[in-house]
Chain A
Amino acid sequence: MAITGVTRPGHAQLRVLDLEKSVDFYKNVMGLVETGRDAKGRVYFKTWDERDHNSLVLRQSDQAGIDHFAFKVLDRATLERLDSDLRAYGVATERLPAGEMLGTGERVRFEIPTGHIIELFAEKDFVVGRDRLVNPTPWTPQSEHGIAPLRMDHALLYGPDIDGNVKLFTEVLGFSMPEYVEHDDDGSKIAVWLTCSNKAHDIAFARYPEQGKLHHVSYLLESWEKVLRAGDVCSMHNVKLDIGPTRHGITRGTTIYAFDPSGNRFETFCGGYQCYPDWEPIRWPLSELGAGLDYPQRKLHESFLTVVT
């Protein structure tokens, strides 16, 4: 399909309890590149291979969790159209001026039914060097430092009204739903995977009693071997793994979950399939969620449903 409308995840802004400890973690364990600090004290990062100015923003706070998750839309006209579509649907939107975040154009901000703040923007500075655009090398010294993912890929967010989110994302923002988990007895949705592209997911939601919770922000790696290497890098820095290395049944990605120094979970993963918006969604009964989460072990790890920030 042509990628139009909402094109991809743009950035996550996370709250951290100790800024410098977190900056050190994201630079040297995750292997991201620091691209700036703003007057509010926020620190900006991108992966070695990303072209946009930032995909992760850290903000010092007394609580962990996610401030907002943002998507890049095709152009300014798309941003205007989606803003008015959201309002017509009954969602209140707010504008943040260009430059409120470093290197980032005007943003449209709104709250979704699970209590998370989502933003849309059309413009972000390209900070890619000429050497990456003309006759580029396949890897660089930066791509070997720490985990060094290719890109920030998606997030899994927890909150009560995931049905409201599905309706909003599919009816207004043009997402489709490749996979979902439903309750065996009443068929209610427990978790949903949504895409605006032909990735198996650009964002996912799971039902949880509290509003606005972060389960994980996920980073894409090139191969299963790099997933294993990410596990090595974590161990070398005394970062205990939460789950994995293993493979999800849902989306089929190979994966590791672990936590940043504030307890915000991250994922480093590889693979998963490409899908198309006309496909019938894949259904997982809740009783098979263990296989959906950790296919080789068919294990529903307790922390998956309970540990969030």
Chain B
Amino acid sequence: MLHKHHSISVLDCEKTFPCRDGGTVFSALVSSKTGVMINGCRGGGCGVCKIEVLSGAYDVDGVMSRAHVSAEEAAAGTVLACRISPKSDLVVRLRGKLRPSSVSH
């Protein structure tokens, strides 16, 4: 691959997706192809992309709404996927809404 990539393993669906170095975890997980996240505000405001990072290192870029992630949660690795980019392979669990199974119409 042209860019350096890290892999994001999503425990909920037991699948792994590539994430470009410097790209957000959200951008790696969003799309109908991954079947993990469908859409979101990409701005740390709506909370649909909330995840728990179980292992791996990441950078935080931008502010996350306190309505969705408390300071304690953020310190313990519960974050908004649109505000972080991986520095290593990550293992994550989904904590937000707007997964395909939650779409009822």
Contact = CB atoms under 8 A, between A and B. Distances in A.
Interface of A: 17-18, 62-65, 240, 242, 259-265, 286, 289-290, 300-303, 305-309
Interface stretch (B3-11, B12-20, B58-66, B87-95): B58-66
A99 to B, nearest CB: 30
Interface string B1-39: 000000000000000000000000000000000000011
Contacts of B103: 302, 306
A17 B65 CA distance: 7
Nearest to B105: A300
Interface residues of B, number: 21
B40 interface: yes
A156 to B, nearest CB: 14
Contact of B65 (A263, A286, A302): A263
Contacts of A261: 43
A65 B43 contact: no
Contacts of A65: 45, 67
A154 B103 CA distance: 27
A263 B46 contact: yes
B38 A303 contact: yes
A261 B98 CA distance: 20
Nearest to A239: B42
Given A302-B103, A306-B48, A307-B48, A63 B65 contact: yes
B44 interface: yes
Given A17-B63, A63-B66, A302-B39, A289 B45 contact: no
A122 B98 CA distance: 41
B38 A17 contact: no
Determine which residue in A63, A286, A305 has the highest number of CB atoms from chain B within 10 A of its CB, and name it.
A63
Interface string B82-104: 00000000000000011000110
B43 A302 contact: no
B67 A307 contact: no
- Nearest 10 CB-CB pairs, A to B? A263-B45, A263-B41, A64-B45, A263-B43, A303-B39, A17-B63, A62-B66, A63-B67, A309-B45, A259-B41
Contacts of B39: 242, 301-303, 307
A299 to B, nearest CB: 10
B98 A303 contact: yes
Contacts of A18: 62-63
